[in-house]
Amino acid sequence: MSFLSRILKKQYSGFDSKSKRSIAIIGLDGAGKTTIINRLLKSEFNLVRPTFGINIEIYKYGSLEFIVYDIGGQTPLRESLWNKFVASADGIVFVFDSADKKRFKLAVQEFYNTLTYNKKAPLLFLANKIDLKEAVDFNKIRSLFNFNKLIREQRKCEFTQCSALTGEQLFESWDWLTHQLLSKKEISSMNVKILGGYLYLSSGDMLEEFLCGTPKTQSKHFPLLKEGNYEIQRFIKQMKNYQKAETLLQTGNKQLIIVKEDELILGLIIQSDDPAARAIRILKNLHKKVAKKLANKEKINFQEFIQSDYPIDIYLEE
């Protein structure tokens, strides 16, 4: 089974766990809600159809389950469904199309209208489609939506740009929301357990791949490392026209995190319940270090960089 097919198994297992949170995803039709959810929760890049009604997705985070309500944004649905789901949601995500200039005003109106139905739930605002040339500058969006005013209110808010296409900023902001919905007790260790890693050039040439642990553990994870190579090659092709991109692929019990930053592609294999956002931050930091060494024509040992900079994130034994 590939990384992609195995995720469905993960999605729908353990449905009856007790701790549940609900997240309502709203935004005008065509803003990218379903595409974002598919990217985040199913690692799918497929084209989606407009949503008539609601898509319900379940995703697991440690021992918790999140029920994600992706609600179609066409007018009748906005009028009849949004308010109900927003009112009972533990978290709200508003997706905004940064390139749909003709409907900016309508989006602002709908945004503020919906927030009146739930004054407490943490809010994640995603200015989507920043990969498009027509996407408007984030500062303009900030003032259009008057974010400064919102920040002064009680509610916890996060405003960020993203692209469902490249995955940029998506996983980190989703992680922010997830954390807002957890109690202190539920936020377990924020470290990841790195099982292996990859360093590629965006041309597709591999610079390094490695597995952590004893020779026995390494041979156990070897098939996974090979499978990851295949996924990275696919990612490189898919994202060849973009400077930055991020993705997260899941197997039954492992995750593959891939980050593209300019000329470099960096990847990590981590455990399935590990916080992907930390892995992305680690890769972005390592990118800076590796890029500097490359520019200075110095020796690069990716595994050694990880071991010296992130010793507590290294996987030892199961």
Ligand X SMILES: Nc1nc2c(ncn2[C@@H]2O[C@H](COP(=O)(O)OP(=O)(O)OP(=O)(O)O)[C@@H](O)[C@H]2O)c(=O)[nH]1
The residue ranges that bind ligand X (CB under 6 A) are 27, 29-35, 47-48, 50-51, 72-74, 95, 128-129, 131-132, 163-165
Within 241-275, where are the H helices? none
| Phi, psi angles (nearest 5°) of residue 71 | -105, 125
Nearest distance from residue 78's CB to ligand X, in Å?
9
**CA gyration radius, the chain:** 20
Count Cβ atoms below 10 Å from residue 142 Cβ, excluding itself.
15
248 binds, among ligand X, Mg ion, none (CB under 5 to 8 A by kind): none
Residues 6+ apart with CB under 8 A from 130: 98, 138, 161, 162, 163, 168
Partner interacting with residue 163 (select from ligand X, Mg ion, none; CB below 5-8 Å by kind): ligand X
Least Å distance, CB 45 to ligand X, is 9
Give me 108's structure tokens: 């602002």
The strand pairing partners of 260, in sequence order, are 245, 265
Cβ-based nearer residue to ligand X, 82 or 315: 82
Closest CB to ligand X among residues 111, 210: 111
The entry of ligand X, Mg ion, none that residue 273 binds, CB within 5 to 8 Å by partner kind: none
Strands (E), 2-108: 20-26, 54-61, 64-71, 91-97
Nearer to ligand X, 167 or 196 (CB): 167
Assign 2 to helix, strand or coil: coil
Q: How far is the CB of 41 from ligand X (least distance, A)?
A: 13
Single-letter code of the amino acid located at 214:
T
Q: How far is the CB of 50 from ligand X (least distance, A)?
A: 3
From the list Mg ion, ligand X, none, pick the one residue 228 interacts with, judged by a Cβ distance below 5 to 8 Å according to partner type.
Answer: none
**Looking at beta carbons only, is 177 or 245 nearer to ligand X?**
245
Element (H, E) at 88: helix 83-88
Minimum CB distance to ligand X smaller for 280 or for 290: 280
Residue 295, contacted partner among ligand X, Mg ion, none, CB below 5-8 A by kind? none
Smallest distance, ligand X to C-beta of residue 95, A: 6
Residue 77: other Cβ atoms inside 10 A: 18
Nearer to ligand X, 25 or 192 (CB): 25
User: Any bridge partners for residue 259, and if so which?
Assistant: 246, 266
| 164 contact choice in Mg ion, ligand X, none (CB below 5 to 8 Å, kind-dependent) | ligand X
CA–CA gap between residue 8 and residue 24 (Å, rounded): 21
- What single-letter amino acid sits at 62? G
